[in-house]
C-alpha cells in the first residue's frame, strides 16, 4: 500500500507498492520495479562524486490520473479502471486479511506487469540525483530531503505496508541493504 511522504517539490506525495503480488512501485505518476530501484540505490551508494551523484533506472510514466486508476476502488473491487484496476483484475485484494502481505516472489510477475503497463503508460528513464551539498535526492522532478529519501529506502526494505510476508525479503532488497552497510552510505539513514 503506498504511503504519503513529504517532498520539497510537490508537497505530500504517494510512494510504494500498490499490489501485494507485484514488485512494481509507484511514485505519484512514475512506476518502476523494486529490483531496479534497489540496484539504482546500490549504484548511487558506490558513486564517488563529492558534491552530487546521478544514476538512472528504467520505468514508466502515466500522466493521466484516469489511466492510472483508483487504488482504493480497485482494492474494494468497485472501480477496476485504469492501470491499477487492470492490475487488481489479475491480482485481486485477498479475501482473508491475513493474506495481505507483500509477496517476496512479486518479481516473477514482472513480465506480465511490464506488458500491462505499456497499455497505459510510456517507458521512461528515471533520474535519481543525490546532491550531497544540499542533502537532497531528486527522483525526476520529485525532490526529497535525504532523510526522507532514506525512509523510502526503509519502506522497500520492510515491504511497505503491510510488510513482507513472513518477513522474507527478496534477494535484491538484501543486496541493497548489504551494499549500503558496506559503503557506510548516509542513504541508509540513522
Return the pLDDT at 50: 74
Which residues are within 8 A (CB) of 99 and not within 5 positions of it... i.e. 6 or more apart?
20
Return the pLDDT at 49: 67
Return the pLDDT at 182: 87
Measured at the CA of 137, the angle between CA 125 and CA 42, to 5 degrees, comes to: 70
Cell of 189: 539513514
Return the pLDDT at 189: 67
Measure the CA–CA gap between 147 and 125, rounded to whole angstroms. Answer: 24
Distances (CA, A) of 142 to 18, 72, 125: 19, 23, 14
Q: How many domains does the chain have?
A: 1
Q: Which residue range forms the structural domain that includes residue 153?
A: 3-188
Q: What is the pLDDT along the chain (190 residues), one digit of tens a residue?
A: 899 999 999 999 999 999 999 999 999 999 999 999 999 999 998 877 678 899 999 999 999 999 999 999 999 999 999 999 999 999 999 999 889 999 999 999 999 999 999 999 999 999 999 998 889 999 999 999 999 999 999 999 999 999 999 999 999 999 999 999 888 777 776 5
Longest dimension (CA), the chain: 50
From 136, 144, 153, select the one nearest 190 (Cα to Cα): 153
16 and 157 Cβ atoms separated by less than 8 Å: no
Task: Record the pTM.
Answer: 0.94
Amino acid at each position: 500500500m503506498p504511503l504519503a511522504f513529504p517532498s520539497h517539490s510537490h508537497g505530500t506525495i504517494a510512494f510504494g507498492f500498490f499490489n501485494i503480488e507485484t514488485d512494481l512501485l509507484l511514485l505519484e505518476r512514475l512506476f518502476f520495479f523494486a529490483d531496479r530501484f534497489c540496484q539504482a540505490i546500490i549504484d548511487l551508494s558506490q558513486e564517488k562524486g563529492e558534491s552530487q551523484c546521478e544514476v538512472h533506472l528504467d520505468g514508466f510514466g502515466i500522466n493521466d490520473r484516469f489511466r492510472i486508476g483508483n487504488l482504493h476502488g480497485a482494492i474494494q473491487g468497485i472501480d477496476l479502471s485504469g492501470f491499477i484496476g487492470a492490475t487488481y483484475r489479475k491480482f485481486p485484494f485477498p479475501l482473508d486479511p491475513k493474506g495481505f502481505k507483500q509477496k517476496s516472489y512479486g518479481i516473477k510477475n514482472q513480465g506480465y506487469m511490464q506488458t500491462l503497463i505499456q497499455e497505459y503508460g510510456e517507458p521512461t528513464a528515471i533520474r535519481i540525483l543525490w546532491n550531497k551539498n544540499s542533502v537532497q535526492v531528486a527522483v525526476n522532478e520529485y525532490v526529497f530531503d535525504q532523510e526522507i529519501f532514506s525512509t523510502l529506502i526503509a519502506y522497500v526494505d520492510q515491504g511497505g505496508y503491510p510488510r513482507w510476508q513472513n518477513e522474507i525479503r527478496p534477494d535484491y532488497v538484501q543486496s541493497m541493504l548489504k551494499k549500503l552497510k558496506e559503503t557506510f552510505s548516509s542513504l541508509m539513514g540513522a
